[in-house]
Structure 1
Amino acid sequence: MKIFKFGGASVKDAQGVKNVVNVLQTVGYEDTLIVISAMGKTTNALEVVIKNYFDKSNELQASIQEIVKYHNEILLELFPNENHPIFKKVTSFFEELKGFLGRNKSPDYNYVYDQLVSFGELISTTIVSAYLNTVSIENMWLDVREMIKTDANYRDAKVNWEQTQQNIKQNVQKTKLHITQGFLGSDPNNFTTTLGREGSDYTAAIFAYCLNAESVTIWKDVPGVLNADPRYFENAQLLHNISYREAIELAFYGASVIHPKTLQPLQRKEIPLYVKSFINPTDNGTAVAKGTGIEPNIPCFIVKKNQVLISLSSLDFSFIVENNISEIFKLLHDCKMKVDVIQNSAISFSVCVDNKFNNLEKLLSALRSKFKVTHYENVSLYTIRHFTGLAIETLKKDKEILLEQRAEKTIQLVVK
């Protein structure tokens, strides 16, 4: 089988959904499973709903209605006959969402988050599946929550591979076209979980691994994997070929095109990954497969915004050694901080982290009881793979460097 993944940008409006049909008709869709994200910025909009719910905001209903209106506009353009059953299906999802908000008693933000954001993918796949059927592309809609089983670590759930593989093998008919949701799974009690933000690529890799797929293709609004994000860097260039190892390095440092967890299952079975343009589907794009390095061999620039740099020093000028470092890492783990850079000397320790779970104050409070602490919020972390002197010089220009770390092929700079 082939696995295709279409992200939110590819189905952000009715024209996008029609273009998915164009891509499928151009490249073929026999023996294919398609993973689809929420439409456009729906996940962001659902996060606003969740915030309003917890804040007991009088804007809650309005924020839900915005999402209803957005999807209704897409529906009306795709299905001129308002008696089409898709309208009732989508309405029932929104009724289910409101029903959950009305009866939920759990104060656990992460649990509520996963139950609510999942509606984005459930609705988008239902719409795309129905539209494909109307243009004679017959397909089966799969509820991914019945396929991918996870633990109950909401918002960053870990896959139960054995059970997931069994479910997928039993329920996916290899000769049919299937449509399913990215990003989602379910825990042992059948509550919805999510695999981490941007986890739809990972979903595609999970299915590929379990089905021994021929390939995975991620369809994007860019020509493939670029050596830099064109939103932040000028003259970004297309990388034609990347080895698994190099792609894992780039993903680890924060390259946004490929999700960090996506590559491991593909590498284990040597399943090639293609990143292609849904605007020009016949272009080659980027191939990620077994091989050496990258082609062309040029510097790759990665930036992560809104990071936090924390610098610790001992209160009594004693060394920061193994037992201190182990304690620091336990606190970072307990506060769910993603560590991006570490630097330490005899009496100091610096770490650049991603505060995605908003636990910074809790962490700082714990650290201050044992160390002298300084921290900088809203810093940017720049990484250059395969750096050159010119690349470093260009990046440093007009920036205040707070921390610099250099290895054989990689340099990282934390800047204000």
Structure 2
Amino acid sequence: MRIFKFGGASVKNASAVRNVVRVLQQEGTDSTLVVISAMGKMTNAFEVLIDAYYNRQNNLNEALTFIYDFHFNIIKDLFEIDSENVKNRVNELLGELNGFMIQNESRDYNYVYDQIVGYGELLSTTIVSFYLKSIGIENNWLDVREYLKTDSNYRDAKINWSSTEKIIKGNVDVQRLNITQGFIGRNNDTTTTLGREGSDYTAGIFAFCLNAHSVTIWKDVEGVLNADPRVFSKTELLKEISYSEAIEMAFYGASVIHPKTIQPLEKRNIPLYVRSFDHLDKKGTRVSKGVSLRPLISCYIVKKNQILISISVKDFSFMVENNISQVFEKLHKHRLKVNLVQNSALSFSVCVDDKFNNFDEFYQELKHIYNIKAYKGVTLYTIRHFDDDAIDLIRQKGKSLIRQINTKTAQLVIEEST
């Protein structure tokens, strides 16, 4: 059994869907499970819809129409004849979405988010599955919510591994081509999501439960590069990465591989490949047990739009364990993801992601107890296997607010020059 994962860029339009077919035809379709994300930037479009619905904004119908038109235009471009079945199924899904928005009474944003956003994956996989059948490639369309069982931590659900493994092992036909969704799961009776970019994790879950031969993530780049080409002018392909190195890179924020994806693969020693869907002759990057990094060069990981928070006690006494414990309790409460920690006798600094926009609430709770200074919009650069030249390259990008170095990793928080 092989697991393939195609992201949004892989299915962003009719031409891209046809290219997915080209990949499957060359690589083979037997004993393959394909995980597919929402098409193009549809997750962003569904987030616009969610905000319009939740905040009762006037652009709700406009947001719905955009989603409707996007998918039906792709259907029009893909299907020359016999498109009624796929249109009917897409209309059913959109009808379910409308039904939820009419009947829902919850004001829990995270719950509402999860019930709506997953329709991007349901629509994309439906269209791809019908298209494959229309050109003679039989496949099973699987509703991943029937297979991935989670808790009810909406927007960042945790997998119930025992239930999930039992269901997948007992119900997936491993001889055939299967098409399913990434990113979403289900608790007892409602949809949950695994976090942004969770489709890679979905592939890892299926691979673990089916003891797959391999996982391949198909992308619009040749493989895993040592830096983001949108930020750095010179990049180099990493041909091999060990599981432990990949986990380190993912932990620090490398966007090519989802942080949770590697762990289930390592447990079963399942190799992960990152390959280009445009250049099928390229071998890409292999992540497996073995060599740490080939070639052994500096790797740059960039996290933009961070908040650097510096905290000190108002009476200038030491920041001790109970102070730091209290701060971490509030960081956890407000779901501020900590990416760097540095403390001295009098102050404690953290660099955080505020993806749920909760910083202001965090600040209000602590401002009466501590002096708090925040630098918003800073960039966190992490360098694995750094040298002096690598650090100098980052320091040229702006004012260095914090620098932290250990044996293999350097991290710099930069207030970038405008």
Same structural fold, with TM-score higher than 0.5 when normalized by the shorter chain:
yes
Q: CA deviation at 1:250?
A: 0.6
> Using the alignment, how far apart are the partners of 1:299 and 1:113 within structure 2?
38
- Counterpart position of 2:291: 292
- CA shift digits 1:106-138 (9 cap, x unpaired): 001000100100100000000001111111111
- Counterpart position of 2:195: 196
Change (3 A) 1:194 1:398: closer
CA contact (8 A) 2:139 2:178 kept: yes
1:391 matches 2:390:
yes
CA contact (8 A) 1:27 1:282 kept: no
> Using the alignment, how far apart are the partners of 1:98 and 1:330 within structure 2?
38
- Counterpart position of 2:262: 263
Partner SS, residue 308 of structure 2: strand
CA contact (8 A) 1:4 1:34 kept: yes
CA contact (8 A) 1:76 1:82 kept: no
> Using the alignment, how far apart are the partners of 1:226 and 1:135 within structure 2?
35
> Using the alignment, how far apart are the partners of 2:17 and 2:83 within structure 1?
20
1:323 matches 2:322:
yes
Partner SS, residue 148 of structure 1: coil
- CA shift digits 1:208-231 (9 cap, x unpaired): 000000100000000000000111
Q: Which amino acid aligns with 1:389?
A: D
- Counterpart position of 1:152: 152
TM-score, structure 1 normalization:
0.98
Partner SS, residue 179 of structure 1: strand
Q: CA deviation at 1:80?
A: 1.9
> Using the alignment, how far apart are the partners of 2:120 and 2:261 within structure 1?
21
List gaps (5 residues or longer) in structure 2. Answer: none
- Counterpart position of 1:236: 235
Partner SS, residue 217 of structure 1: strand
- CA shift digits 1:75-102 (9 cap, x unpaired): 0011122653001111111111111111
Pairs within 5 Å for 1:146-185? 146-185=146-185
- Counterpart position of 1:53: 53
> Using the alignment, how far apart are the partners of 1:140 and 1:398 within structure 2?
50
Q: CA deviation at 1:326?
A: 1.2
Q: Which amino acid aligns with 1:59?
A: N
- Counterpart position of 2:355: 356
> Using the alignment, how far apart are the partners of 2:84 and 2:279 within structure 1?
31
Q: CA deviation at 1:316?
A: 1.3
Partner SS, residue 231 of structure 1: coil
1:223 matches 2:222:
yes
- Counterpart position of 2:67: 67
Q: CA deviation at 1:393?
A: 0.8
- CA shift digits 1:191-248 (9 cap, x unpaired): 0000000000000000000000010000000000000011111111100000000000
Q: CA deviation at 1:33?
A: 0.4
CA contact (8 A) 2:75 2:83 kept: no
- The percentage of counterpart residues that share the same residue type is 57
- Counterpart position of 1:206: 205
- Counterpart position of 1:143: 143
- CA shift digits 1:360-408 (9 cap, x unpaired): 0111112212211100111111111111111111111140111111111
List gaps (5 residues or longer) in structure 1. Answer: none
> Using the alignment, how far apart are the partners of 1:139 and 1:82 within structure 2?
17
Change (3 A) 1:352 1:83: closer
Q: Which amino acid aligns with 1:404?
A: R
Pairs within 5 Å for 1:346-385? 346-385=345-384
Q: CA deviation at 1:166?
A: 0.7
CA contact (8 A) 1:23 1:281 kept: yes
In angstroms, what is the RMSD of aligned CA positions? 0.9
Pairs within 5 Å for 1:26-175? 26-81=26-81, 83-175=83-175
| 198-207 vs 312-321, which moves further | 312-321
- Counterpart position of 1:301: 300
Q: Which amino acid aligns with 1:282?
A: D
TM-score, structure 2 normalization:
0.98
> Using the alignment, how far apart are the partners of 2:35 and 2:327 within structure 1?
39
> Using the alignment, how far apart are the partners of 2:331 and 2:349 within structure 1?
12
Change (3 A) 1:86 1:398: closer
> Using the alignment, how far apart are the partners of 1:7 and 1:397 within structure 2?
34
> Using the alignment, how far apart are the partners of 1:321 and 1:83 within structure 2?
66
